[in-house]
Structure 1
Amino acid sequence: MEMLNQMAVQLQQEQNCTFLQACQLATEWYQKHMHKTPCRTSILTGNTWICELYAGHMGRFEENVCMPKEVFAALCETLVNDFGLQVPQRPHGLAVEESVAMFIHVLKGKQNREIQERFQHSGETVSRHVHNVLNSMKEFTVVHCRPTYSQHRIHPYVRSRRKYLPFKVLQQNMIDI
């Protein structure tokens, strides 16, 4: 009988241990996947930051956006009016200026996490808006950045060397665009 009691106690302890492990795993899973603490909580949102730059010193604007205010405003307007960049339909949606500024930060070599922190948006939001601007910029580039190369403008040294033939073919193809 004593042996049976010991086996029953041991079985109860093992079940308790398994139950505790299951509770611990469930708690960890809940903390990781369900109970989230907001990360991007700065008072200065991306749109507020852009407004602050517009209202501030011209040098600071150019330092952060890499162009004068008037050029940036014209670029945003052109992308919306001529190249289909979407204006937000919701009151809490991103402004076009904010999307274009995020795109410029990508061009400056900033990482997605840095842009998330600067503009206070998730990585998915940053990626989506940067891709929207990229698609509009591709169309902008086709219209406004056509090369004006001609075979006669290629340096004679390059034109006369056979090893640069692919370069010359590329140049010729650019003329045909």
Structure 2
Amino acid sequence: MSPVFGHGHLRLYLLNLLEESPKHGYELIQALADRFGGTYSPSAGTIYPRLAKLEDEGLVTKTADGRKTVYSITDAGRAELESRRGELADIESDLSDSVRRLADEVRSGVDQAMKSLKAELASAKREARTPPAGSRAESAEALRDADVALTEFRQQLRTDLRKASAKGIDPALIGRLRERLAQVRLEVREELGRRQ
């Protein structure tokens, strides 16, 4: 997956989020995921070390709130944020580019999965033994139905993905899609193999 933040940008972006309001680590992770429409969600291993460094530099403080640790920006953090305010517009622009790039990668993955599934169906057709003379027309019709079903599925899924890309697409969802498409392809091949 492509990098999302340039060097030092996540640090500044965390200060920006904390300027909006104090947050605990999970809220920061969620706020970032929301900004990316779900296409990117940083891990705790990405966020907490940066928060610790910001705290060491005196730019944020942390307080215990029950079992949660809440981070707040300090006056020094606000001063740094203010001195680098111009960079935030560039970061926002870069984030928009990153979201588009991630959505394109997801679409490309789905397109590849569909092409692979179609290729498998075409291969299975070639590998299938010649059916009895009476069922050739039925087989040809079944193949046309399969082609239509695949085309409709692909078009509907692409439409759904395009609509969702503005809000964000969870890469894990695409992983599950690939797994299910591979499973369907395997089931079709097994069924066709039993009929030979």
Same fold (TM over 0.5): no
Which protein is richer in strand relative to its size? 2
Structure with higher Rg: it is 1
